[in-house]
Amino acid sequence: MAKLPVEPRHDAPLSGSDNLSEVVGNWPPWKNLPQRYKLIGTTSLAFVICNMDKVNLSIAIIPMSHQFGWNSSTAGLVQSSFFWGYALSQLPGGWLAKVFGGSKVLQVGVLVWSVATACVPLLAGYMPGLLLSRILVGIGEGVSPSAATDLIARHVNIQIFIWTIPTEERSRAVAFVFGGLSVGSVMGLLLAPPLIQNFGWDSVFYLFGLLGIAWFLGFQVVEGDATQLTAESLLPAKPTTTQSWKTSLKELNGSLQVRKICQSIAFLSPAICMTISSLDPGLPHWEVVGLLTGGIALSSFALSGLYCTHQDISPEYASILLGITNTVGAIPGILGVALTGYLLDLTHSWSVSLFVPSIFFYLTGTVIWLVFASSKPQSFSE
């Protein structure tokens, strides 16, 4: 009599080797995450490191000035050198991201600013070399916003199709990625003082630079996971993807309303808080500080407003558009300091010299945004 085949019991306990294989197969823990989440997470981490390397000098400049005998003018020159590279690299960064892709430009940017950061202690005694290193930090960080925008917005080719971020997730992706800048500022300002106190000011530059180099190496692994996909494995996704883009086009009108609301909050919140503070209602100092802090914090709604609009109107040219807006946005930062000082000398009032011009531009910007803002794809992307 023939024996029936015995089926294995699925509820049987796994052997030690089976457990080990299962653990190894699922390692690292983020292995099974959707590729776009890995992309967003690693890009946000890059921006955390970005602002850590940006603010570290603002803390280290004090012991460096004491060691090298710098006066205030020299210290200001060293600190401002970062912005020379940052301002000049915005438009080239957008163009490079458009031509070579945001992934490559972001990787090069992180590597450049990280190596330059690590070189600061070696060049601190030689002023031209120190200025050059900080300019390179500015250049590396200056190309990165456009590169990140390109990563989120670009219609990627078939080999890395899995990197595409759906339109409905774009606002969250932008907010999460660029939110890394704020996290980096906080972490940099918190970590730098104890590092300087215990290990010397040079430890900040070595450690923060090493973090960026480690990110660069880790990104090769994440990017390699995406490029393992073959064109054949993605063919079944084509009909679904085409349909999703049709659906996304129908949602553009809705996204425009979201962009207008979010950007209006970003403009009006600090304007209202500044108005209350300038009227001097007799609030305690800590309440005024809290009010202004809250208003500036709410300006982060721009991450779901202006910062997403570049991608709405032209995913292909989003990096260049961001480079243009960032370059124009740097002009008030340069002129505003001089204007504020002039008005303060003229009026001897912070309310008139600082708050009134800011409120004026916030309100004017809100009106212009509500009237002219659009999420409609533009002809130059067709």
3-class SS at 237? helix
Nearest of 169, 165, 137, 172 to residue 150 by alpha carbon? 165
Q: How far apart are CA 142 and CA 90, in angstroms?
A: 5
With respect to residue 41, please indicate whether it lies within any of the assigned structural domains.
yes
With respect to residue 269, please indicate whether it lies within any of the assigned structural domains.
yes
Q: What pLDDT, on a 0 to 100 scale, did the predictor assign at position 284?
A: 86
The gap from C-alpha 105 to its chain's centroid, in whole angstroms, comes to 14
Helix, strand, coil shares, percent, the chain, to 5: 80, 0, 20
Handedness of CA 191, 193, 199, 205 (dihedral sign): positive
**Least trusted range by pLDDT, from 45-54, 143-152, 204-213:** 143-152
With respect to residue 21, please indicate whether it lies within any of the assigned structural domains.
no
pLDDT > 90 fraction of the chain, expressed in percent and rounded: 35
Query: Do 130 and 46 reside in the same domain of the chain?
Result: yes
Please tell me which residue, 4 or 278, carries the higher pLDDT value.
Answer: 278
Query: With contact defined as beta carbons under 8 Å apart, do 369 and 267 qualify?
Result: yes
* Cα angle for residues 192, 266, 41 (degrees, 5° grid): 50
Q: What pLDDT, on a 0 to 100 scale, did the predictor assign at position 266?
A: 92
Nearest of 139, 152, 147, 160 to residue 103 by alpha carbon? 147
Query: With contact defined as beta carbons under 8 Å apart, do 305 and 260 qualify?
Result: yes
Query: Do 212 and 324 reside in the same domain of the chain?
Result: no
pLDDT tens, residue by residue, 264-317: 999 999 999 999 988 877 788 888 889 988 988 888 888 888 888 887 888 778
Q: What pLDDT, on a 0 to 100 scale, did the predictor assign at position 130?
A: 94
**166, 171, 176, 177 alpha-carbon torsion, rounded to 10°:** 80
Query: Do 191 and 269 reside in the same domain of the chain?
Result: no
Residue 81 belongs to domain spanning: 35-228
Q: What pLDDT, on a 0 to 100 scale, did the predictor assign at position 237?
A: 40
Whether the pTM exceeds 0.85: the reply is no
pLDDT tens, residue by residue, 86-102: 888 988 998 998 889 88
Query: Do 175 and 316 reside in the same domain of the chain?
Result: no
Please tell me which residue, 379 or 261, carries the higher pLDDT value.
Answer: 261
With respect to residue 293, please indicate whether it lies within any of the assigned structural domains.
yes
Is 158's pLDDT higher than 60? no
